[in-house]
Amino acid sequence: MSSSPAPPSTPRRGVDAMLDAMDEPTPVAPSRKRTHASVDPASDQEEDDEHLPGQRPPPAVQGAKMILGLHALHNRLDALETGKPPFTVSKDTEININFYAAAILLSTKLSAYKGSVAKNILLDILKVNRFDLPPNIERHPANYAKLVAVVQEAFTQLRSKIKKALAASFKVNKQPAPSAREHQNIFDLMTHLVQGTKCAVTPELCARVALMSILRTRDRSSGIPLMPRNRAGGNARKLNKAFENVLSTDRATHGVDDYSIPTEVVDDVQREVDDTISATSADKAASIPAATTVTDEQQVESEA
C-alpha cells in the first residue's frame, strides 16, 4: 500500500528564515573532466579549490547577512525596551538625594538657599555619581523631569524643617519665649538640624544659620548688616569677619552662652559638596558681566 505524499511545508518568513537560508551550503557544480594534461599545476589547484565543499559565500552575501543580523538584534532590543516598566526614582537614590541635599543646604559655601542654585548643584552631583540612574537619563525629558521633581521635593522638605526649627527656637512650650535669654541657643539649634547627616556643627555654619534667623524674623534692631556678602565686596577676610560678628551677636542675644563650638574638619562627602559648590560659583561668576549687581532686597529674598 503506497503512502500518501507528505504535504509541502510552509516556507518560513522573516529575518530568521533569511539568515537560515544563507547558512545553507552553496550548491557545488560537478567538477569538469580534464581532456588533456594541464601545463600549469597551480591553475589545476585553483580550479579544484573553487569547488571545495563549505567554501565561504561571496562578500556581498556576507555583508547582507551582517546587515540582517544587526536588524534582527535591533528589533529584539526594541522589544526589550518596550517591555520595561515606566521609570521611577528608586528608594536608594531618594536616600542619596536627601543625603546630598542636606549637605548642600548646610554647606558654608552655598550662596543662596532659595531658587535653582542648590537644585542645580545636586543635579550636577547626580550626573557625576549616577548611583542607579539609567544611562543618558538627561536625554529623556520625561524621565529626567521625574528625577528633578524628587530633587525639588527634597529641598522643599529640608527648607521646611529649617524654618520650623528656627521658629521653634524662639518659643518655650510652643509659646513665645518671655525673653531672648530663653530662646534656644545657636549650638543646640544646629545640633538638632544636623541630626541624620554627616554635617558637623562649626562656627561658620552656626553663623550662617544665625543670619537666616535674623532674615526670617527681620530683626533689624540687631544692628547686623543683613547682606554681609554684599558688604564684603568679594573680600574673603571681610566676609569671614562679618559672619563672626553675626555669630557673636547671636550668642550674646539668644539663649544661654554656656557652650563652645568645636572647629571640626569636614568629612569627604561634605568636602565633595563644598568643592562642587565652589566650582559652580566660580563658573557662574566668570559668566556674569561686571556691571551686574545684586540689590539688598534680592539678597534678602535669596537667603531667607
Write the pLDDT tens digit of every residue in 105-159: 988 888 777 788 899 999 999 998 888 898 889 899 999 999 999 999 999 999 9
Q: Is the pLDDT of residue 288 over 70?
A: no
The Cα–Cα gap between 274 and 87 comes to 31
Per-residue model confidence (pLDDT) at position 214: 74
Grid coordinates representing 287 are: 559668566
Residues sharing a CB contact under 8 Å with residue 109, sequence separation 6 or more, in sequence order: 273, 274, 277, 278, 281
pLDDT value of residue 225: 44
State yes or no: pLDDT of 299 exceeds 90.
no
What pTM value is reported for the model? 0.62
Q: Which residues pair with 176 in a beta bridge?
A: 171
β-pair partners for 180: none
Answer whether residue 25 shows pLDDT above 90. Answer: no
Q: 243 in a domain, yes or no?
A: yes
Q: How far apart are CA 200 and CA 100, in angstroms?
A: 14
pLDDT of res. 15: 56
> Model confidence over 163-190: pLDDT tens digits?
899 899 999 888 988 888 899 999 999 9
Indicate the SS3 state at residue 136: coil
Residue 81 belongs to some domain of the structure:
no
Q: For residue 68, is it within any domain?
A: no
Is residue 11 situated within a structural domain?
no
pLDDT of residue 61: 80
* Residues 124, 86: Cα–Cα separation, whole Å: 24
In a domain, 168, yes or no: yes
Asked if the structure places residue 83 within a domain, the reply is: no
- In this predicted structure, the answer to whether residue 41 has a pLDDT above a threshold of 70 is no
Instruction: Please count the CA atoms within 13 angstroms of the CA of 18 that sit on its side-chain side.
Output: 12
Which residues lie across from 172 on neighbouring strands? 175
153 is a domain residue: yes
3-state secondary structure of 176: strand
Cell (9 digits) for 190: 544646629
Instruction: Give me the number of domains the chain comprises.
Output: 1
Kindly state whether residue 201 falls inside one of the protein's structural domains. yes
Find the radius of gyration of the CA atoms of the chain.
37
Domain span at residue 284 reads 91-303
